[in-house]
Amino acid sequence: MVYRDRSDAGCALAAALARYRDRDDVLVLALPRGGVPVGFEVAMALGCPLDVFVVRKLGVPDHPEWAFGAIGSGGARVLNQDVVRSAGITADEIERVTLAEQGELERRERLYRAATDTVNPRDRAVILVDDGLATGATMRAAIVGVRQRHPSAVVVAVPVGSPRAVADVAREADEVICPAQPWDFQAVGLHYANFEATGDDEARALLDEARRRFASIVV
């Protein structure tokens, strides 16, 4: 399965989430930046508010694309102990990388939210959306962080993911929706005809549009 772009993927994902449409207890939380265009289409189709849940990958020193864990809003942190051991990462290195990524996480929260309050996830069915699952580390951190805010349910919705990552995430979420799970998964971007990076301006514009449409939601 190849999607035209993230918006196309969001429309396809919304169809798989139709049972959540027009409910007053649903909240879509997108993982920026790539998850925002996907989450926007989902939120618009379901008729529910959209916000972000900021997560940051923790990269192996000298090999930052290789994730050994992730952090999320509210102090959530998930570590992949297999990677920590195989890469020989020390406790000091874990803390150093975490501190650096925490600064970027806080910057993004200020950038995407500005003076706008978050929609309270308490007692809501929260749908966490990203553009795909590769290792699942960032999504697992998001689940941990959202759980701390007492939602009624945590649903993970992604257009494509590796079967292993989907299985890992399914152990922590109440439900996982992932239409494409190719056995030979290599990278999320290979399942998009257009996988250009989502910029901060684009993400903010989509969030602002969603907030205008759902301005009456009590935070």
| Whether pLDDT at 208 is above 50 | yes
The arithmetic mean of pLDDT across residues 98-107, rounded, is 90
Instruction: Say how far apart CA 73 and CA 34 lie, in whole Å.
Output: 17
In this prediction, residue 141 carries a pLDDT of 87
In this prediction, residue 219 carries a pLDDT of 44
In this structure, whether the domain defined by 6-54+115-213 belongs to CATH 3.40.50.2020 is answered with yes
In this prediction, residue 66 carries a pLDDT of 81
Query: Who wins on pLDDT, 97 or 216?
Result: 97
In this prediction, residue 48 carries a pLDDT of 94
| Whether pLDDT at 65 is above 80 | no
| Whether pLDDT at 57 is above 80 | yes
Instruction: Say how far apart CA 130 and CA 157 lie, in whole Å.
Output: 7
In this prediction, residue 218 carries a pLDDT of 43
Instruction: Say how far apart CA 135 and CA 219 lie, in whole Å.
Output: 32
**Which of 73-77, 104-108, 115-119 is most confident?**
104-108
Residues 29 and 76: beta-carbon distance below 8 Å = no
In this prediction, residue 215 carries a pLDDT of 65
Query: Who wins on pLDDT, 215 or 171?
Result: 171
Mean pLDDT taken over the chain: 90
Query: Rounded to two decimals, what is the model's pTM?
Result: 0.89
Q: Give the start-end residues of each E strand in the chain.
A: 26-30, 50-52, 55-60, 63-72, 76-79, 125-129, 153-157, 175-177
Percent of the chain with pLDDT over 90: 66
Integer Rg of the chain from CA = 16
The arithmetic mean of pLDDT across residues 57-65, rounded, is 87
Q: Which of 52, 85, 86, 53 is nearest to 71 (CA)?
A: 53
